[in-house]
Structure 1
Amino acid sequence: MNCESVTTGKLFRDGLWDQNVVFAQLLAMCPAMAVTTSGTNGLGMGLATTAVLVVSNMLISAIRNLVSDQVRIPIFVVVIATLVTLVDMSLNAWLHDLHKVLGLFIALIVVNCAILGRAEAFAFKNGVKASAIDGLAMGLGFTLALTIMGLVRELIGAGTLFAQASLLLGPSFSFLEVKVIPNYSGVLMMILPPGGFLVLGMLLVVKRMVDQRLAKRGCATPDAAAHCSV
């Protein structure tokens, strides 16, 4: 189905909430569990993925009339892999500390189902502008999900928010660093893999409750939602 007529508002609503990569589609679980030990790590991974999503959507949309259906998937993979390599090298050059923390998970963006999925489901069927907006919306939704998970795990696990932001993302991000609970011994399990599953489960429950509340108030459709508040 061609989605050229989809509004910008609808695209952002889908990316941030209705079709959120993590909270609605349950995709990209590997980085969602592995790198969200802090808000800083989640933010960095999300922004890197967003950059790949936006540019890959634009490039695939631009060449969609030149690519046959038989070879589209290999071409998608080559385009995405090239962009991920550029992002990986850029992070290694300019944000080396963040690159060391994220490590292998930067390279694994290539096999992120969300990126290949948007290329197949949206970019290959729509124009460059709409595809760029879709990539940005989905990327921001993914970034939001990773950052929220990271902040919750970090707060419970260490009593801080955006720890080492200035070291990993650069000095300009130092304002994000907050020590919420002084002299806090922390809960180690929240920083370990089980903590990721617990936090994801809690956040999925919260999203489901909000969706049900919106539905009861007649906000289930985008048009109705514009006139409702949570």
Structure 2
Amino acid sequence: MAKDNNLMERNNVIRAGVMGGNDGILSISGIILGVAGATTNVGTILLAGFAGTLAGMVSMAMGEYVSVSSQHDAQAKVTKIQTAALATDYQKEFDFVEKKYQEIGISKELAQQATKEMMDKDALVTTVRERYGFSPNSVLNAGSAALASFISFPLGATLPMLAMWLTPTTYREIVTFLAVLFALALTGYSAASLNGANRKHAAIRNIVAGIFTMIVTFAIGSLFR
């Protein structure tokens, strides 16, 4: 069980890191291309990107902390409810688990035996898992997720800012655009790998979101040139 908890915690931190980096790439590319549409002054463009990076770091970290904390609070409430249910009507919880196993095709005798063995070992974990789909022993660390986002957001933001800074004026918008799309494809693919989703679809979805964001912000910025 400890290994399962460590794996879940590690995956949660990796997820937060990947999503933080993804948001850093997408958000800051939108900001700097929007400003690039309004001015050719690279100092102004990078200053806007730097300000957006500072804001994004705090925003992403706090968002992760609140999200994971809220999930933890909800799980704690469910665990408390289920503890009371076992104390007041153990047989009802036993019957629920046994019936659930029978509904997926397990014979009555085998379902009863399996339920008894698991309930005897840990009734709370068994009933919480079967009723609500999670283990009360799987506690996620909100601070770790927040720290991962706080660090990965500026790392993601660095890519579009470097592309904008290092590329000659004539080509910097298109080079930044292409560099961002490549990075978004990688983060979309990585996030899907962690979540078990379709990697190709996730990468394409991320690319489309990036294209839309950068085109819209650049077009709006161009109105003020």
TM over 0.5: no
TM-score (norm 1): 0.35
More helix by share: 2
Q: Which has the larger radius of gyration?
A: 2
- More relative contact order in 1 or in 2 (CA 8 Å, sep 6+)? 2
